[in-house]
Amino acid sequence: MSLDRASLINALRALLPEDAVLEQEEACRPYECDGLSAYRQLPYVVALPHSVDEARAVLKLCHEHRIPVVARGAGTGLSGGALPHAEGVLLSLARLNRILRIDPAGLTATVEPGVRNLAISEAAAPLGLYYAPDPSSQIACTIGGNVAENSGGVHCLKYGLTVHNVCAMKLLTIDGELLELGGTALDAPGYDLMALAIGSEGMLGVAVEITVRLLPVPERAQVALAAFDDVEKAGTAVGEIIAAGIIPAGLEMMDGPAIQAAEDFVHAGYPTDAAAILLCEVDGTNQEVSEHIARIRQVLEASGATEVRTARDEAERALFWKGRKAAFPAVGRISPDYYCMDGTIPRRHLPEVLRRTAELSREYGLPVANVFHAGDGNLHPLILFDANKPGELERTEELGGKILELCVEVGGTITGEHGVGIEKIKQMCVQFQPEELNQFRAVKQAFDPLELLNPGKGVPTPRHCSEYRALPHKHTHEHS
Amino acid sequence: MSADLSRDLQERVAEAAAAGTQLAIAGGGSKAFLGRGERGVPLNVAGHRGVVSYEPRELVITARAGTPLSEIENLLAVQGQMLPFEPPHFDCPLPSPLMKPLPFGIPLAGEGDKVALRPHSIATLGGTIACGLSGPRRPYAGSARDHVLGVRLINGRAEQLRFGGEVMKNVAGYDLSRLQAGAFGTLGVILEVSLKVVPRPAEEITLVQDRYAADSLAYLADLARRPLPLSAACHDGDRLYLRLSGAATAVAQSRSQLGGELLADAGAFWRDKIKEQGHAFFEGGAPLWRLSLPPAAPWLPLPGKFLLDWGGAQRWFRTEAPAELIQQATAKAGGHASLFRGGHGEVFQPLPPAMLALHRRIKHAFDPQHLFNPGRMYASL
């Protein structure tokens, strides 16, 4: 690095308006962590550009002086992807928050990265359109962050992830080049760089303009709530619904502890004596929804549901979902701290994974509540702990790591939608072979040869892995 | 038939890497006509075949690259499922100038054209993903790339790598599996692909309406704004064809809203005429261009004949007009044009210099010696 902190601040002030550079401790403090607050680092300096040109100027400065850059949206990420670098610029895109245009004929919205996920659907609503991916944090999280993480949500079994719903972006590279990726046609010439950029956790470039696809709001949506006295039966019911040829818009599962916490928090009317509940939503034309709900009710009952309810009206439908979407904060109310995991597994292994998670939970003496995107196999075990008890965070992280390795063992992945960030960097050594990690690094080099963008996140160094693999209790996952 | 030749293929690539020999990766050869032509010693992947796993309830199939596409489609059909992106096979014996596809289809007794089992063809899974082509269902169900969940491949360092997996949601590491879709094998030898599959719709009908092609675009844009169970929309120069798929009630309801004449043998129309290009539009010697456009892009005033597919987002164009004219007009309308069959010269829309430079660096990251399919997409890749 060729600039000391004072010189860097002066250089940034020369490029940006006065309010776009934060350096005082109290001003920087809100940026010290993202949604994974166990990891904290006070930013060296924060830059808050108002425009693409200002963002580009920051990147060029950092490139010239070899200064690391960490991009940040709303800071709702759950893997420490936006954790500041101790000697780098924290680049907040929060002020790039304009909806640039909505094209009602082409069914797209073009927005700046700091626009909130839900704000897109709100802006498109008067046209009868919406943006489908709906992470639980959609009130607060930004589309730029969604692109960085390839965020999912509760409706991605039917409507896909961010990568399926974003069609174009302008990407600033670390040397200040503005690339236009994708387009409003259904494909673009050359390599599919949209697939590469989406989910790259701010390590390949900084998205400064994003075009998303909008869909017509379905004529009707209806949700069925089914209670089970056994988690395994609920898991089987999910497979039966798919086998009946129906792809629900959303298919969510919660276990007993999660149901209780959510019910206490939002009073959704959940059956608190159930071992598991399924929320199964279908959407489409009015008659199609009726046809599918009737079929789903049959399947759920045949699968041993102790109770099947459908929402009486739109208000009750919203309430059923509110409980699910508030499950994380609900668990937060009943425990001093909680740690949210994010593995994905082939659904058929659900009973085994839940059983072994429960065993690990007992072994570590830490309760686990399970919230599960059942339709696509994405598990969110929430580990309840108290960070004020010495050693409990470390034990929590170790338990979390074991749950993720269990996911890999049954053919799944360490992260379904929250990203690797700083949090799961060790488990990357379990999921991938050295040659695969080398290939990731080679791709990184193609975009950012000086490794200035979000260094230390996402892809472990060879040294990281050799240290981790050397630990006696670890094993690497052998590919067959 | 099933055989795992991954070790052999890896050795072949290692030898090529040691000797600096360029390789032309080949599956069944059905899409050899696509791109800028093949260069290098053939590396045949067709023998590396077989379905590795298929879990209907997980909506996932994994198969080796040389597995015939028809074998996969037949297996899915038996379970009431399908590949949502409806990939074309292009099983014609000669690459050019323009051949009619082979006759298809032995319908299963009693199933009509809904479950048409076909004789094994030469199109393979690996080639299908490498070319990244999708059929009429693309705008409504997603593309080939959208349904890739994972791949195994050999890179230019002769390493076997696995990216993605068999689960719907996976954000560990960069998405190097979807990147292979449409890369024409220039980034590695695809060994195995995992795909998301979906249930076949309970009901499917096609309505035919009398409309002018140019007028259809505004009509189709209007339909796209409504929550209809559309699954294909094309105008063949004479009439507009709308396919509806879904629950029986939804299809019936939309049929009465939209109107039009019910098409008999609709399965064969979409498969043989449109997807496999058996329609009379595709006959004759004039170069065939593929124009990929924003669906609502207006009618392009270019000299030639159009067939509209993908609700207006994919426009097939027969013309002798020069490439620059076509590509400029298409780019101005927000899309890109590629020379699909016949003609001479560059095939794909040129990339801006900064993008081409990035492509070259990505190519280098996978294949530093430029062993795989050199020049198939662009001269310098």
Residue A175 vs residues A53, A207, A450, B265: alpha-carbon distances, Å: 13, 14, 10, 56
Mean local confidence (pLDDT), B334-362: 96
Provide CB contacts within 8 A for B175, sequence distance 6+: A150, A163, A195, A196, A198, A199, A200, B163, B164
The pLDDT-based confidence of B112 (bands split at 50, 70, 90) is: very low
pLDDT at B104 over 90: no
Backbone angles phi, psi at A103, to 5 degrees: -105, 100
Task: Summarize pLDDT for A423-434 with one digit per residue, the tens.
Answer: 999 999 999 999
The model's pTM: 0.94
Question: Quick one: pLDDT at residue B99?
Answer: 38
Taking only the tens place, the pLDDT of each residue in A405-446 is 999 999 999 999 999 999 999 999 999 999 999 999 999 999
pLDDT grade for A466, boundaries at 50, 70 and 90: confident
Q: With pLDDT > 90 as the criterion, what percentage of chain B qualifies?
A: 89
Domain borders along chain B are 1-200+350-381, 201-272, 284-349
Per-residue pLDDT at B92: 63
B377 — phi, psi (to 5°)?
-95, -60
Q: List the CATH code of the domain at B1-200+350-381.
A: 3.30.465.10
Secondary-structure class of domain B201-272 per CATH: alpha beta
Q: Is B311 near chain A, with CB under 8 Å?
A: no
For residue range A310-343, what is the model confidence (pLDDT) as tens digits?
999 999 999 999 999 889 889 989 999 999 999 9
Residue B155 C-alpha, separation from nearest chain A C-alpha, in angstroms: 9
3-state secondary structure of A85: coil
Q: B205 vs chain A: nearest CA distance in angstroms?
A: 16
CATH of domain B284-349: 3.30.70
**Which of A130, A184, A187 is most worth mutating to test chain B (most B CB atoms within 10 A of its CB)?**
A187
Residue A287 to residue B250, Cβ atoms within 8 A: yes
Q: What is residue A2's predicted lDDT score, i.e. its pLDDT?
A: 72
Could you say which DSSP state residue A432 is in? S
CA proximity to A214, closest of A147, A155, A152, A130 = A130
Question: Terminal CA-to-CA distance of chain B, rounded, Å?
Answer: 35
Helix (H, G, I), strand (E, B) or coil at B325: helix
**B224 contacts on A by Cβ (under 8 Å):** 107, 216
Q: What is the DSSP string of B198-210?
A: EEPPSEEEEEEE-
Q: What is the mean pLDDT of residues B288-307?
A: 96
Q: Is the pLDDT of residue A475 over 50?
A: no
B213 pLDDT above the threshold of 70: yes
Q: Among B13, B147, B169, pick the best mutation site for testing chain A contact (most A Cβ within 10 A).
A: B169
Average pLDDT over residues B38-43: 94
- Tell me the residue type at A390: P
Query: Does residue A32 contact residue A40 with C-beta atoms inside 8 Å?
Result: yes
Query: 3-state DSSP call for residue A100?
Result: strand
With a CB-CB cutoff of 8 Å, which residues 89-148 of chain B face chain A? 132, 138-139, 142-143, 145-146
B353 shares contact with chain A (CB less than 8 Å): no
Cβ A196–B176 below 8 Å, yes or no?
yes
Quick one: pLDDT at residue A472?
Answer: 58
Residue A480 confidence class, pLDDT cut points 50, 70, 90: very low
Average confidence (pLDDT) over A195-216: 98
List phi, psi (to 5°) of A372. Answer: -145, 120
Distance separating alpha carbons of residues A400 and B113, to the nearest angstrom: 50
Q: How confident is the model at residue A473 (pLDDT cuts 50, 70, 90)?
A: low
Whether A122 has a pLDDT exceeding 80, the answer reads yes
Residue B45 has pLDDT above 60, yes or no: yes
Q: Among candidates A108, A110, A8, A90, which has minimal Cα distance to A46?
A: A90
Do residues A385 and A337 lie in contact, with contact meaning Cβ atoms separated by under 8 Å?
A: yes
Question: What does the radius of gyration of chain A's CA atoms come to, in whole angstroms?
Answer: 23
Summarize the confidence of residues B192-203 as an average pLDDT: 97
Please state the rounded mean pLDDT for residues A451-472. 88
ipTM of this complex prediction, to 2 decimal places: 0.95
Report whether pLDDT(B108) > 80: no
Q: Where are the extended beta strands (E) located within A23-140?
A: 45-47, 69-72, 89-92, 99-103, 108-111, 129-130
What is the Cα–Cα distance from B160 to A411, expressed in whole angstroms? 18
CA distance B88 to chain A (A): 16
Please determine whether the domains at B201-272 and B284-349 fall in the same fold group of CATH: yes
Write the residue in B143, B161, B165 that is nearest to A187 by C-beta.
B143
Q: Are the Cβ atoms of A185 and B334 closer than 8 angstroms?
A: yes
pLDDT at residue A1 above 90?
no
Distance CA A186, CA B309 (A): 12
Whether residue B97 has a cis bond before it, omega within 30° of 0: yes
